[in-house]
Amino acid sequence: MNPIVDILSLDQEGHGIARIDGKVTFVDGALAGERAEIAIYRKHAKYNSANAVAILKASAQRAEPRCKYFGRCGGCSMQHLEPSAQVAAKQRVLEENLARIGKVKPGIILPALHGPSWRYRTRARLSARWVDKKGGGLVGFREKRSSYIADMASCEVLTADVSALIQPLRELIGQLSNADRIPQIEVAVGEHVTVLVFRLLEPWSDDDAAQVRAFAETHRVHIWEQKKGPDTARPFWPDIAPELSYSLPEFDLVMPFKPTEFTQVNTGINRALVSRAVRLLHPQAGERIADLFCGLGNFTLPVARSGAEVHGIEGSVELVARARENALRNRLPNAHFAVDNLFEMTPEKFASLGHFDKLLIDPPRSGAIEVVKSLPESGAPRRIVYVSCDPATLARDAEVLCHVKGYRLEAAGVANMFPHTAHVESIALFER
Ligand SMILES: C[S@@+](CC[C@H](N)C(=O)[O-])C[C@H]1O[C@@H](n2cnc3c(N)ncnc32)[C@H](O)[C@@H]1O
């Protein structure tokens, strides 16, 4: 017989937490305050993993998932929780991490940045596969806890145009002679153009190429092909492709990018996040500011609009070239860029960059511990705005900033960059 449990709280991945004879049990699909019948699918020494098979007492915050593939598709994990409660849960995750790992408490909690919960994704990496048994192609996200591709024909978080392409893409894959040699289709939606980048393990035959061109024309998308790493991606149809771009109207900026280059997934929340970051940083003409992990200049160029001298540093040669082009294009000669591996930062290297009045940091999930540890005792930037995609590494770095480097955590808050997922994007302001 299946156990019946009371769900005590929600973990950082959006699983309900219950206890069975004292042993922690993480329950997929159940919310805090609920009573659920569960099926345990894995027993570990210290905890169990389970699925909710029936909700016997539902939370007032439970929502009807909009997507019919929810529960099987691994793309979303929280559609069963009201969007506003998702944001509150993410805020709690941020505060708990700061307290537990960082031993810090923000002076103020910034109001969460949130926007539409559906149709927000302008970037996605869809897996593709030819499946003999299903007699056709599959295109979509992977199933939960599995390497199989979800059998899906639409997606509620992708833009409507891209969602409507999933079924036609499945049909296209099913017709191509090299269907089993296309493992991935990357999607990038710009303001005027949508690009699909086909990862090709072997070139298209002439027949296949003709079918792909016809697909591009019928569905008004641009197709790129990528034969090896991301820098091998090239326009396939049309061969001279109009550029992808996004804009930041508040700063009068247009940002062209290549479909394989990093851009934030949620264009609306990105605008709000950039705006908040600039407001918190409060750049002034005459200041010297660094933007570390600057990518294509998403924060650097808005900061440079203030007239401050801004130095963007980034590990990717391609992104730095793109950032320089974007600075030129937007007439910002006060934005400068350099390539460097910031995971190898040292106090000597940091000192050699010269004095910075302020710092903006937007690292990958692994955080910026080497940068933080390299800040000087005297003459350190007086203000740091830290944009984070992992609250645990933000909290780890905050501990060093506040307990070793003499900063105060003035403010912190979340941005709901990825509604319906457990992903927590946040922003924090440090001052000394
Ligand atoms: C979260 S993204 C932020 C990019 C940019 N700030 C934006 O908003 O588009 C993190 C960036 O860190 C860069 N990166 C990753 N590892 C790095 C390293 N070791 N040194 C320097 N940059 C690195 C990535 O190329 C990526 O552009």
Q: Where in the sequence numbering do the catalytic residues fall?
A: 389
Q: Residue 75: pLDDT above 80?
A: yes
pLDDT band per the 50, 70, 90 thresholds, residue 130? confident
Q: What is the pLDDT of residue 135?
A: 67
Buried b (16+ CB within 10 A) or exposed e, 42-53: eeeeeebbbbbe
Write down all domains in the chain, each with its CATH number in brackets.
Answer: 4-62 (2.40.50.140), 88-116+266-431 (3.40.50.150), 123-189+194-242 (2.40.50.1070)
CB-ligand 1 contact for 315 (6 Å cutoff):
yes
CB-ligand 1 contact for 262 (6 Å cutoff):
yes
Ligand 1: distance of its center to the CA of 195 in Å?
Answer: 22
Between the CA of residue 405 and those of 102, 359, 368, 371, 376, what are the distances in Å? 13, 14, 14, 12, 8
pLDDT band per the 50, 70, 90 thresholds, residue 412? very high
Beta bridge partners of 23: 20
Query: Which has the closest alpha carbon to 194: 157, 220, 164?
Result: 220
> pLDDT tens across 417-427, in order?
999 999 999 99
Contacts of 83 (CB under 8 A, 6+ apart): 63, 114, 117, 416, 419, 420
Mutation to probe ligand 1, out of 293, 339, 423, 427 (largest number of atoms < 8 A from CB) = 293
Ligand 1: distance of its center to the CA of 63 in Å?
Answer: 35
On average, the pLDDT of the chain sits at 96
> pLDDT tens across 296-349, in order?
999 999 999 999 999 999 999 999 999 999 999 999 999 999 999 999 999 999
CB-ligand 1 contact for 389 (6 Å cutoff):
yes
> pLDDT tens across 3-28, in order?
999 999 999 888 999 999 999 999 99
> pLDDT tens across 141-198, in order?
999 989 999 999 999 999 999 999 999 999 999 899 888 899 999 999 999 999 999 9
Task: State the Cα–Cα distance between residues 150 and 220, nearest whole angstrom.
Answer: 25
Residue nearest to atom 11 of ligand 1 (CA): 293
Q: What is the pLDDT of residue 134?
A: 64
Which helix (DSSP H) or strand (DSSP E) does residue 222 occupy? strand 222-226
Ligand 1: distance of its center to the CA of 402 in Å?
Answer: 24
- Looking at residue 30, the DSSP 8-state letter turns out to be -
Contacts of 147 (CB under 8 A, 6+ apart): none
Ligand 1: distance of its center to the CA of 69 in Å?
Answer: 32
Query: Which has the closest alpha carbon to 419: 5, 133, 66, 41?
Result: 66
CB-ligand 1 contact for 302 (6 Å cutoff):
no
Ligand 1: distance of its center to the CA of 299 in Å?
Answer: 12
> pLDDT tens across 245-298, in order?
999 999 999 999 999 999 999 999 999 999 999 999 999 999 999 999 999 999
Residue range 186-213: mean pLDDT, rounded: 95
Residue nearest to atom 8 of ligand 1 (CA): 298
Amino acid identity, position 324: R
